[in-house]
A = this chain, B = another copy of it.
């Protein structure tokens, strides 16, 4: 399958991603072998995370952005991290009719979020899908996320640049943006800067520029841009700015160190989550955890004592 993926065979690509999304043990062994074969051919893309509250125009933006980038000769893969997709039946990207024009492009590949009970599981499979897309020759990877739980952090931890789309409106609260998300952004773009909202968009850009200048860190000054995805205006500047970020972070080594740190963090998150899954699945832990956890949140049991009691059951010693 690795050869077909590398030749850019779309059906092989889709099958490969289905394989790594499978939870069957025998599939996992095949998936590991596939990933190992593809690994030397990964890493050659610009990895872009995009988040924004519902209503900000994410699909319209990604479609306009994808078409623009394809027009410049690139191949674009759009993936998603949406841990709620299992419950909601796919709230984002479940429906390709959202990006009709982009999905028709031979140089575009759109894949809905894998279903998964945990964010960790969804994030892992998206990371692996990203590697497969890179091996298939896609040099621009867009990972979309909705503002649910910790999904923005998970996406920011797997990309080179995390972009936050804003509405032309007041501050975070008015826009429904969760605390700490703006701090994750490498790039902020105010969408819908057209028609009646053009003036409001200008004010929003100025406000966030001011705030981010005050809170900014490092060599890269988080730019605040505006665009109109519907009118396809300002998309070129977004792409140019992403190129500037890439040039700077390649030159100063931050891109390489960020990716190395992301890989290391991914390893440890795999280890941590598997250990916790095993812990939670242990019969004695399952039996005793609910009462102890309730006691802890009510302030009736010291957390350290509860932890020690449960751990001694799991580890089978006087832990």
Contact = CB atoms under 8 A, between A and B. Distances in A.
A192 interface: no
A32 B304 contact: yes
Contacts of A127: 303
B179 A183 contact: yes
Contacts of A172: 214-217
A264 interface: yes
Interface stretch (A78-86, A138-146, A235-243, A268-276): A268-276
A1 interface: no
Contacts of A195: none
Interface in A2-29: 25
A169 to B, nearest CB: 11
A172 B216 CA distance: 7
Contacts of A264: 293, 296-297, 303
Contacts of A128: 302, 304
Interface of chain A, main secondary structure: helix
A311 interface: yes
Interface stretch (A35-43, A97-105, A110-118, A244-252): A35-43
A263 B296 contact: yes
A267 B279 CA distance: 13
A286 interface: no
Interface stretch (A45-53, A54-62, A67-75, A204-212): A204-212
The 7 closest A-B pairs by CB, nearest first: A270-B307, A171-B214, A211-B211, A267-B303, A266-B303, A260-B297, A275-B275
27 contacts: A32-B305, A39-B299, A42-B299, A43-B299, A128-B302, A128-B304, A170-B214, A171-B214, A172-B215, A172-B217, A173-B217, A179-B183, A179-B217, A207-B214, A210-B211, A259-B299, A264-B293, A264-B297, A266-B304, A267-B292, A267-B296, A270-B306, A270-B308, A272-B272, A274-B307, A274-B311, A275-B276
Given A32-B305, A131-B302, 4 more contacts: A43-B299, A172-B214, A173-B217, A266-B303
